[in-house]
Amino acid sequence: MRPLALLTDVSDLDPRPAVDLLTQAGFDVEVLELDVNPAVPESARRAVAAVGGYAHLGEEFFAQVPDLKFVALTSAGADMVDLQAAERHGVQIQPLLGAATEEVAAHALALVLAVERGLRVTEQVAAGAWSEAYQHMPRRLSSCTVGVLGLGRIGAEFARLAQPLFGRVIGYDPYVPAPDGVLPVSFDELISASDVLSVHMPLSDETRALLGPVQLREMPPGASLINVSRAEIIDQQALLAALDEGRLRGAGLDVLTGEPPALDDPLRNHPRTVVTPHVGYLSQGSLTVYQEQPARTIVHWWNSRP
């Protein structure tokens, strides 16, 4: 019998490249919609591997597929997986690393420039206003310090892109040394010294609400906050309060809670936010990697088993 591989959900990706790769490698394939219905059909319960998307994979899922040994994710973050449950069931979890390092770093820099240069003014221009619409006084970036929270692949690439623009680049990461051109500082120093703070941390119990009311109050007055990682790293109510009170100049956000967030989420159209729909990863090149690499990873795992 051919081994069975699952696609747990398809999210925004075309499943056909993964299905074709797995089928050609000798797998049967079933495409599920666990983000809509968490029940695994009987025909899929003999699966040995899965491509994991945005659907939550926890105890209920792993209990339904007792032969499952390997999950290749379509993202670098593993916050959609209960890793303790996976370990209890003997399932190896493989994140997708490096698929969109360049894209996410560039997107973070684009959000910095949009916030710092007040590019939301284009909405007023489109509505008929002109110079009178521009009430945002930009700063000279060479006089500013940019802080990088998280110095992994994406954070390090963002720091490299930011260095020619900013007077100083500082960074904090408890596990990764600072790359060339980045001054390593403590977490508290990062918060208090960053005129622009860009978040590049994975979501975990350690980082959830890492930036809360205390940290946002300690940022320099008029600072900008950029988040292309996970919304839950920042206390959303504290962020809203800092924007409403004008303590923050603005926020550039590629992530919000819910995704898609509630229509009445006040951060969606706040006058001090620039919001994009979690597309920092997106390019034609990265899309191919997201669609194909997890399936290739499963094939490699299967063929290299002891």
Which residues are annotated as catalytic?
Answer: 230, 259, 278
For 135, 239, 270, 273, the CA distances from 244, given in Å and listed in that order, are: 17, 9, 9, 11
Residues 6+ apart with CB under 8 A from 55: 8, 9, 32, 33, 34, 35, 38, 80
Angle at Cα 72 formed by Cα 302 and Cα 69, nearest 5°? 55
Question: How far apart (Å, rounded) are the C-alpha atoms in residues 245 and 144?
Answer: 22
Q: Is 129 helix (H, G, I), strand (E, B) or coil?
A: coil
Token reading at 8: 């747990």
Tokens of 108: 């973070």
| Residue whose token pair is 């081994």 | 3
Residues pairing with 80 in the sheet = none
* Burial class of 16 by CB neighbour count within 10 A (0 to 12, 13 to 18, 19+): exposed
- 3-class DSSP assignment, residue 172: strand
Complete DSSP assignment for 235-282 = -HHHHHHHHHTTSEEEEEES--SSSSPPTT-TTTT-TTEEE--S-TT-
Asked if 145 and 195 count as a contact pair (C-beta separation under 8 A), the reply is yes
Strand partners, 70: 49, 92
Query: Helix 101-116 and helix 153-162: axis angle, to 10°?
Result: 50
Beta-bridge partner residues of 94: 72
